[in-house]
Each structure stands twice: as C-alpha cells, then as structure tokens.
Structure 1
Amino acid sequence: MALAQILSACTPEEPERPETYGCTEMEAPRIEFGELLGLYRGMPTELLTDGYLEGVVISSDGEGNIFGSIYLQDRAQDPRYGVALKTDLVGSGALYPPGTRVRLFLDGLYLGKQDFGYAIGTVREVFGNPVLDRLPALATSQRLIPGCTDPVPVSPRAVYADGLDSTLVHTLVRIEDVEVAAEYKGKTYAEEGVETLVPLSGCTGTPLGLVNSGYADFRDQLLPGGSGAATGILLGKAPDYHLLLRYASDLEMTSPPCTERYPPVSSQHLLISEIADPDNEPGARFIEIYNSGESAIDLKGWSLLRYTNANTEPGRPADLSGMRIEPGSTLVFSADPDTFLATYGMSPDAVLPPNGPADSNGDDTLLLMDPFGEVVDIFGVPGEDGTGTTHEFEDGGAIRRPGVLKANPIFDPSEWLIYNDSGGNGTENQPKSAPGDFSPGSHPAGA
C-alpha cells in the first residue's frame, strides 16, 4: 500500500506563519465533514464551493515520521470523520500543533482517497488519469487558517485491535493491549532512509502494522519488548490496518508481554450451537458457536476443524485467534459472506475458507479445539461418513438443544435436533430452507 508519509526528494518553499481567522463568524459557508465526504465520486473530485471545512489538527511532523500530510478530524473528542490534507509544507507541526482548530478553504481543491481514507489536495495527470497530489507549501498556509484560540487537548479514540473499523481511518486512535511481533522486538523502528512496516498484534491475536519512516528522529531507537498501547493515525482497511505514529512516545508498552498478561484459556462453556446446510442454497451454509458462561472468552489459540466424510484426518484448522465471544453471545462463521448476507440480511462474524468447517454438506464431523489441542466440543464421529447415521444433516441442519449449556468432547446425538432429507437413526426427515428455517446469531434458536 502506498503510504502518504514517504519522503519526497524535492525541497518545498518555506511559507510565512499563517494569519489566524479570528473569533468572528465568516461570510463563507461552513461545510460539514459528512457533507464534504459525500461529494466524492470514486476519483479525484473537484470541490466547486467557496466554503470552508473546520476541524482539529491531530498530526505532527515534529519528529519526522509524518511527511506530506496534515491530518484533521471533525472534533477533538469522539470524532466521526477524519481527512488528510496532502501538502508539501515542512514544519507543519510548528505552524499547526495538534489540537489547533483550523479552517480549510476548499474552492478549487480536490477530494480523493489516500491509504483507504479521504484526502484533499490538488490534482495532476498520470498517463491521462487524474491523481491526487500535494498542495504547495505556500498555498497550504494561505488556505489552512488557524483559529484564534490556543490548541485544545485531543483525546484519541480508545479501541482494541479487534474493534477497528473503516469509520476510524484518518482519525487519532489509541489501540489498547498490543505488542510488537516477537521477531521485531529489540530491533530498530526503521532502517535509515527506508519506510518500514513493523507487525503488531493485539493480545487477542488481531494483526495490524506500525508504519515507521526511515527519516524519523526515532528510527534508530529499539522497539519495546512488552505490551501496552499504541497511539497514532489509523490507515488502511480490514484486515490490514496500519498505525502511523506522531512521536516515539505514542508507543507505550511497559507492561509484560501479552502471553504473560493473557494466558490461553479453555472453557466448557464454549460449544457448537448450530450448523446449517440449507436445501435451497449451499452458499448459505454456516456454523455457529455459543458462550453459555458468564464471562467473555478470548479465542486466542482456539480452532474449528472438519473431518470430511470418512476421513480419519481433519482438514486445515480454522484459527479463531483475534476474536472474543461475550457471555450469552454467539459467533457465526460462513465460507460465502456475500451469499450469507443476501440470504440472512446480516454479515457473518468471520469468514472461513471454502470446504472448511463453515462449508459442510451434511455428512462431515465438526469439532471445536482449545488452545492446548484438546477437543472441547464435537458434532459427529471422526472417521465415519455421516450419511445415514445419527449425525447426518444433509440439506438440513443441526441445532443444539436449549438445555445443553456445556460442551461435550464425545458426540451425544441426544443433545441435538438434527434435520436432513432422509431421516432415520434419531434424525428428522425435514429438509430445511434458508433463511426461514435457521437462526444464525441467536441461541437458543429463535431467542
């Protein structure tokens, strides 16, 4: 991914310190962030307005890790929108310190995308195609006008790595409970002159990246070995979010490593609650797990496995690391998220590979394994083709009876309501159709 802070070889002109806009109302109309971003048309879009955008500066190039952009968000706390202003201005952190309320005059500028977030700048053509470019330094100081008040404290949005979403891109976030990947601990932030992407992960296992410039003042400092919080500008999109630091102090990792703070756990309260093989739509298959306990369960190290037909060896495990399941809640997994959404009117909680645990055609064995390699819950019998047995759910489904609140590592058909297209062996000859005959995300069924 091309990132905004890559250093250019050019030497921009030095602007004078911009005048403040005063404390009085202006004749030009104020354009709200939401209104502005709604003007984007999928390519650099010219802004034909004499209005201005008012926001708060959240970035700084003071330690050299950010170049070519000034990041703004709509308010100092709990922002709803963020945008990058592409600029050649060097030393913006001194002219517009974080917390400075500014007005950006928009007439003739262009709205586009950068690092999967919205950005404003000028435009140039590359092989006949318009490309968003940086605003010259002098023009930046003429268009970006600071307010008359002192900078205000900016509070980053506190979030966990598994809670990141696209609405936070180009805003200031503080990601809790993260650590540097083991192979990078003790290495420098970046190689000199080379942009470096350092892998981070949440303590639940959710991955993300730390973007470090090879020209940052702290590039030769050593990355921390513990865990803690990382503050910065959020870039990217799921599942490849990146964090752009402003200062070395934005990385606060003085706590012990995640493995010491959050050791893997097993639980009998995590169980398979529903499996679907709809007669009318194979793409609407899913598997659901349920937490019957009173505490959230971190799924780091947990996995779902599928024994296909009579195979005695499972397929590749589906790793559930990076997810957490709240008490009394479910997680729903699909192998075909588009069809799942079109069928049930909701998205699955996670997508698993085709031909895996979320894509069974009704004659397989499915099991839930804890971080220690122990089978916690199972549906079916490994090594036994399910056709014509107590665990066939072809063209139907299997629902855990509401009274079953603990997992069982040994398959017990009496714990299940099982439907298929043939019946027998304690199953019901009742093919099931999606969406009406299934209840993904709700257990007990219909609750």
Structure 2
Amino acid sequence: MMNLFNNKTMKNFHKLFAIAVLTVITFSCVEDDDFSIPDTAAVDIEAPANLIDMSAVIGLIGQSQTGTVTFENNEQFIEGYVISSDEAGNFFEELIIQDAIQNPTAGIKVLIDNSPLFTTYAPGQRIYVKLDGLTAGLSNGVPVLGLNGSGVIEKIAPSQQTEVILRDSEIFDIVPTPVTGPSEFTTAKLLTLIQLPEAQFTDGDISANRTFAAEPTDQFDGVRFIQTCGDFFAAPIRLETSTFSDFKALRLPNGSGSITAILQRDFRDDFFVLSVNSPEDFNFDPNTRCNFDIVACGTVANAGTNTLLFENFETQSTGAAAMPAGWTNFQEEGTETWEVYTATGANASLGKSVNCGSFRSGDASTVAWLITPQFDFDAQTGEVFSFETSNSFADGSSMEVLFSNDWDGTTAGIATASWEPMADPVVVSDSEAFGNWVFSENVSLDCVTGTGAIAFRYIGSGDAGTDGTYELDNISLTSN
C-alpha cells in the first residue's frame, strides 16, 4: 500500500490538530466565564422579617464616638427606594436610596464596586439592604453604607452584591418633595429626591453660555448656580455635574421651570448641592425667565453733589436700638433689633456702627427692619444711594435692601406695603473675611418716582448653626 503521508505532512497535521484543540479549550473558557455571571433578575420577594428604619441607622452614626457603626450577625435589613441612576454617567459606583416613595424621612448612599448599576437597579425600584457585615458612617457630609476599611468606608464587592442587596420586581413612581428654595434644605432631606417648582440658571451662567461641566476650569465637577423664582434674595443653589457625565458638554438650558434633583453636600461638606440623573430632570420653558418685581436703575461712577441723607450713627447711644431722627427701627419677629455698637481689633466697627444678628438669641425666627426717612424722588434728579456692610459669620441669615413707594410711614403699615428688592447694591457675602467692610457701589435711583423709603431687613432662623450677624454703616443718599 502506498504511504499517503510523509513525515512533513504528518508534522503539519499534528500542528493543525493542536491548534484545533487549543481553540476548543479557549472558547470553552469564554463560555465558562459567561455562565459564571450571577443571575441578577429581580423577583417578587417578601419583606425580610428584621427590618429597621433607615433613620435609625443614621441615628446610630450620630451616636457613635468613632462616627461609624458596624453591624454584625444581626440579620437586619433596611428598605429603600432607588432614586439615583448612573445611566448618564453623573453617578459612579454608588446607589442612592430613600426610605419612602413620597415624603421620605431619610436617605443613604450604598457604595458598590460595580458599574453600571442602572441595568440592575432602576429608579423607583424597592430594594432591601442586608446590614450584616456592613459599616455605616458619614462621607463628605452624607450617610453611606459599605465595608469597613482602614479609616474609610469601602465599596461592596461585586461578589457580595446579590447577597447584600435584595431586589423587588416592583418599581414605583417616586414623588419628589417640593421645596421653594435653599432655606428649606435640611439634613433630614439629604439624599432624597426634591423638586424646585420654579427656578432658573443665574444670568451670569446663561450669559456666559456655560456648559454643565466642560469648561476649562471644571475639575471633577462643574459647579453652576440656580436661582429660585420665588425669592430674589435667596442664595444661589449649587448644581454639581461630573466631568465624566455624558451630558457635560451640553449648554445650560435657558428659560425657567422645575428641577428634580437629589440633595447632597459638596466634597468638603461646606454647602448643600444638587445632583441630577440626566438633563431630562430640567423641565424648562426656554422662552420664560423668572419675573421679579425689582428696582434696578443701575450704578454710577460718583455720588451727587447734594446730600439728602447721611447717617453714620455717631450721635447714637452704644448698646441701644438705632433711632436716628425720621428712621424706623422695627422688630417684626423675635427679640433682636438693629443696635448701635463699637468694636476694635480684627473685626472693628467704623466708629459707631449698627448690627443685627440672631445667633444664640433663642428666637424661633428673627425679622428686623431699619428704614430710612421717606423722600420725594420727584423733587430732584440723579439720586444716588450707598452704604457699607460687614458680617460676623452671616451663615444662613440674610440682609436685604428693599424699596417701597406705598409705605405709609407707620410700623403697622410695614407688613402691608409693597417692598421691592433693590437689585444693584452689593451686600457683603458670607464668604467675605469678617473684618472687611464692603462698599455697596454708587446705586442710581434716578428711575424711581414718587415718595419712597429704603429698608434694610435682617432675616434669621434662630438656628445657632446657621445664623450670624450683619453690620451696617455710612448710609448716604445724594442727588444732582
């Protein structure tokens, strides 16, 4: 019989056979990897027997001397509803849940070393988190759940994910909590879904045509500022967007409308901030901006040559309520008033000055008015108004400058008069060094008509953690 295979042919055949065997082994390995992925399908489940309130977990953090609490061998769970989504890239390896679909009392962040999470946990989905082996604590000012690390709370490993987090198949419609502005931001609302019904991005951000987080100065997060439509004087609200988000390069939407967002704290735990899941959380009318009734005549380079009013309080008694001739000093709420004081050193007054502050007052609310005499703004032209302000940790309190041309001059008439915000004066900011005095700029009132008065209104909440003091001096009104 003829030998059909010589030695060279046999060697090639052996090589081909080896390659074929290796190929089968390789593809078998791939198939094994695929089959090793855990089944994460949601199923109908009964609530675990040992449920504890999410707020109780947060309370344990506050009671702990170390700032953390570790749960061991207790088989306890917390129930939560997912409110975050990493589909648009604005969240990463974290799941934010709140304790109810409506009117929540607590929220917490679950750290998971896995991404994406939106394919497994949908917004509105009910989950149960097994606390056994987890550690709860504060990170950047918000409560988190994860694993106990070396001085930090670490992320839950993917291999533990399905054991720690049980998913219900039912998905609910989360009802965001309506808030009118930053004065309603509280720690109780942290990591919950809120909604500003009427808001817009500030004129500065819109006029600069800024993106969400793609400006050259944006690092890690882009910070943009939101203004509520209900209160001209409300502090701007910070919106933080990750520079890794899919929508970072989109321009900020013009117009105004509602914003649905998660209330958080910034990285250094200095401010409340908002974070959105996607641009769809902005329901804006692009053709409508907030409509404020304000006095805005602009500013001018110099004051006028004719003095209508100048008050530096040097003739007033130190420690007493400021009562210059023709002025009105009125306590609308609380026990604090605009009072004459002197101070030296790093936080010096300007001779005698006046201040108002509700820090440690014990009052539930503080509203104090200091109102100028009334002037006929038709009797002359070119009116210019100015003053100087300083603050001693103003924090959550505020000072507003208002104008009214229908106030009757009585304390009883203050509440019924129309007081319009003056948009142009510069009032010292809380971030200003407490020893500095800030000039208001020369504020024109040339567009004002009729008889009117100007008011300085201090507002504080009585909260020792958020209230402070404003100082005021050198109030001037001139004309041509």
TM range (shorter): 0.5 to 0.7
TM-score (ref. length: structure 1): 0.59
Label 1:278 to 1:133 Cα distance change in 2 as closer, same or farther (>3 A).
Answer: farther
Q: Name the counterpart of 1:262.
A: 292
For residue 43 of structure 1, the aligned residue among 45, 49, 67 is 67
CA distance in 1 between counterparts of 2:56 and 2:392 reads: 44
Which residue number in structure 1 is paired with residue 53 of structure 2? 32
Partner in structure 2 of residue 432 of structure 1: none
Q: Hey, what does 2:222 align to over in structure 1?
A: 196
Gaps of at least 5 residues in structure 1 are: 1-13, 267-275, 280-286, 292-303, 319-332, 358-366, 379-399, 412-447
How far 1:93 moved relative to its partner?
Answer: 1.0
Which moves more between the two structures, 221-230 or 178-187? 178-187
The answer to whether 1:65 aligns with 2:65 is no
Q: Give the aligned residue type for 2:277.
A: R
CA distance 1:115–1:37, change in 2 (3 Å): same
Question: Against the structure 1 CA distance between its residues 94 and 405, is the aligned structure 2 distance closer, same or farther, given a 3 Å change threshold?
Answer: closer
Q: Provide closer, same or farther for how the CA distance between residues 24 and 35 of structure 1 changes in structure 2, counting only shifts above 3 A.
A: same
1:356 and 1:137 map into 2 onto residues whose CA distance is 45
Amino acid at match of 2:198: D
The one-letter code matched in structure 2 to 1:45 is V
Query: Counterpart in 2 of 1:206?
Result: 235
Which of the residues 71, 74, 80 maps onto 1:55?
80
Residue 74, structure 1, aligned to residue 105, structure 2: no
The whole-number CA distance in structure 1 between the counterparts of 2:54 and 2:249 is: 38
Q: What is residue 119 of structure 1 aligned with on the other side?
A: 144
Inter-CA distance 167–50: structure 2 relative to 1 (3 Å threshold): same
Contact 1:305 1:368 in 2 (8 A): no
TM-score by length of 2: 0.55
Contact 2:93 2:111 in 1 (8 A): yes
Q: 1:121 to 1:404 in 2, by over 3 A?
A: closer
| C-alpha RMSD over aligned residues | 4.3
Q: What is the CA-CA distance between 1:289 and the residue it aligns to?
A: 5.1
Q: 2:79, 2:115 → 1: CA distance? A: 22
2: CA distance, partners of 1:54 / 1:410: 56
Confirm or deny: 8 A CA contact 1:115 1:235 kept in the other structure.
no
Letter matched to residue 64 of structure 1: G
Residues 1:247 and 2:278 aligned together: yes
8 A Cα contact 1:89 1:138, kept in partner: no
What is the SS of the residue equivalent to 1:154?
Answer: coil
User: What is the SS of the residue equivalent to 1:31?
Assistant: coil
Q: Aligned letter for 1:63?
A: A
Larger radius of gyration: 2
- Matches for 1:16-415 after TM superposition, within 5 Å: 16-18=38-40, 20=42, 22-26=44-48, 28-40=49-61, 41=64, 43-48=67-72, 49-125=74-150, 130-149=151-170, 151-161=171-181, 162-185=183-206, 186-191=209-214, 194-203=220-229, 204=231, 205-236=234-265, 240-254=271-285, 256=287, 258=289, 260-264=290-294, 290=332, 334-335=356-357, 337-338=359-360, 340-341=361-362, 344=363, 346=364, 348=366, 369-370=401-402
CA distance in 1, matches of 2:453, 2:89: 59
Query: 1: CA distance between counterparts of 2:145 and 2:162?
Result: 14
CA displacement at 1:112 relative to structure 2: 0.8
Give the C-alpha shift of residue 197 in structure 1.
Answer: 1.2
Distance in 1, Cα, partners of 2:177 & 2:163: 30
1:56-81 CA-partner distances (Å, limit 9, x unpaired)? 11111011111131010111111111
- Structure 1 pair 57/356, CA: closer, same or farther in 2 (3 Å)? closer
* Alpha-carbon distance in structure 2 between the residues aligned to 1:368 and 1:189: 30
Q: How far apart are the structure 1 equivalents of 2:408 and 2:186?
A: 32
Residue 164 of structure 1, CA deviation = 2.1
Supply the distance in 1 between the matched residues of 2:400 and 2:213 (Cα, whole angstroms). Answer: 40
Contact 1:336–1:354 (Cα < 8 Å) also in 2: no
CA deviations 1:149-204 (Å, max 9, x no partner) are 2x111111111113222211100111122211223223211128742111222222
Residue type of the alignment partner of 1:46: T
**Alpha-carbon displacement from aligned partner over 1:274-323 (angstroms, at most 9, x marks no partner):** xx9689xxxxxxx75549xxxxxxxxxxxx998989xxxx99x99xxxxx
Q: Decide whether the 8 Å contact of 1:116 with 1:169 is kept in 2.
A: no
C-alpha distance 247-405 of structure 1, shift in aligned 2 (>3 A): closer
CA shift, 1:53, in A, is 0.6
SS of equivalent to 1:147: strand
Deviation at 1:121, TM superposition (A): 1.0
CA distance in 2, matches of 1:369, 1:376: 15
For 1:76 and 1:404, the matched residues in 2 are separated by 42
Query: What secondary structure, in the 3-state scheme, does the structure 2 residue paired with 1:233 have?
Result: strand
Conserved? CA contact 2:332–2:366, under 8 Å = no
Q: Provide Cα deviations, 1:184-233, integer angstroms capped at 9, x if missing partner.
A: 22321112874211122222233111111111111111101212221111
Give the paired residue count.
310
| 8 Å CA contact 1:235, 1:241 repeated in 2 | yes
Unpaired segments of 5 or more residues in structure 2?
A: 1-35, 297-317, 322-328, 343-349, 369-388, 418-450, 455-480
**Paired residues of 1:178 and 1:227 also in contact (CA < 8 A):** yes
State how far apart, in whole Å, the 1-side matches of 2:392 and 2:407 are: 22
Please say if residues 358 and 366 of structure 2, whose CA atoms lie closer than 8 Å, have aligned partners that are also in contact: no
Distance 1:207 1:148 in 2: 39
Whether contact under 8 Å (1:189, 1:196) holds in the other structure is: yes
User: Which aligned pairs between 1:414-429 and structure 2 lie closer than 5 A?
Assistant: none
